[in-house]
Amino acid sequence: MTTAFDPADLAGRPLANRIVMAPMTRSRAYGPGHSPTGSMAEYYAQRASAGLIVTEGIQPSVVGQGYPDTPGLHSDEQIAGWRRVTDAVHERGGTIFAQLMHVGRIGHPGLLPGELRPVAPSAVRPDGQVFTKEGPQDFTTPGELSADEVRATIDDYVSAARNAIAAGFDGVELHGANGYLIHQFLAPNTNRRTDEWGGTDENRIRFAVETVRAVADAIGAARVGLRISPSNPYNDIQEPAPDAVYRALVRAVEPVGIAYLHIVEATTGLRPLTRELRGEFSGTLVLNPSSEGPTGHDALGLVEDGTADLLAFGALFLANPDLPSRLRTSGPYNTPDPATFFGGDERGYTDYPALATV
């Protein structure tokens, strides 16, 4: 029986175990031009015992930013900052992928320089608010991307992926989940286009598929992962009938030969779809299971029963830098402090103790 503590092969790359640090926004890119700091390098290095680290969302372009102090991968200073992070992780034996996250409509003009404003598949304003340095602000109506701008945005992902490899990352994960740009193209309430990028299921998956193909062509398919979250309502997404579109998406990217598919389950009721998608995909399946089901040590059975190849943990990894060791012994676990999740200093960031110091 395979367990979460057994080594794994990720498209030819050996992983020490099957436990993944899930991507988590921390809003602490205080370096020049939203570049990583030494504190960020220490944060990720502390968690290098994960089989795979997936970074916080990194904007592939200036307009892709949606929160304060989130990092980019579109400038030389950002590449240099991330090189310090990847070197620190590799020195401790870890593997690290950069998550490329364009937020699309989930942002605010106040977070962007000059006259830039958020963009999206269609000019549909999301319900809700976004946090800015001036406090919560209502979302605004995004600009609808022209066909040429859609192609240029794919090019931005490609450029950022190349920058990730230059910065020493082992690969990239394309964030197609949680209501951000790729997900906005997939969802019918956010993609109301009638051109080749919208309308039918085939057209709504096109942006995701073309981005996967372009990035794989640029850096190699074995260095690419894709994250999806069918029916996740986060960020005002509505997908009442997700099965057909996600089956079509996975079938379309399967021939590309990407390293992994990362599924975020919004509810345990989506487990049948997860199993269907696993049947369509021959690569590694990473599962971020719903918090409605078993968590912590109790979730490890999802590897043992073959539901997933790798298992991703979010807040538990945030608070427990040595999480694989703690999972092996069923704890004890540090308790995450939500007040320090976004922004701040080392408190709630690099000061969570490992077991040896508890």
Give the start-to-end residue ranges of the domains of the chain.
8-340
Residues 6+ apart with CB under 8 A from 250: 261, 277, 280, 281
Chain centroid to Cα 275, Å, comes to 21
pLDDT, position 133: 85
pLDDT, position 357: 61
Place of tokens 């740009």: 181
**Joined tokens for residue 272:** 């049948």
* DSSP assigned state of 31: B
285 phi/psi in degrees, rounded to 5: -105, 120
C-alpha distances in Å from residue 327, one per residue of 8, 58, 292: 17, 28, 19
Q: What is the CA radius of gyration of the chain?
A: 19
**Which is nearest to 160 in space by CA: 140, 145, 181?**
181
Q: Please confirm, yes or no, whether 333 is among the known catalytic residues.
A: no
From the candidates 180, 246, 260, 349, which is the catalytic residue? Answer: 180
Domain 8-340, CATH class in plain words: alpha beta
Cβ atoms of 34 and 72 closer than 8 Å: yes
Give the mean pLDDT per block of 10 residues along the chain (358 residues): 97 98 98 97 98 98 98 98 98 98 97 96 96 91 98 98 98 98 98 97 98 98 98 96 96 98 94 95 96 90 96 97 96 96 97 83
Cβ atoms of 17 and 7 closer than 8 Å: yes
Q: What is the pTM of this model?
A: 0.97
pLDDT, position 101: 98
Virtual CA dihedral for 292, 319, 69, 105, nearest 10 degrees?
-10
Report the alpha-carbon distance of residue 100 to residue 219 in Å, rounded. 14
**Which is nearest to 120 in space by CA: 140, 92, 91?**
140
Pairing of strands 8-10, 13-15: antiparallel
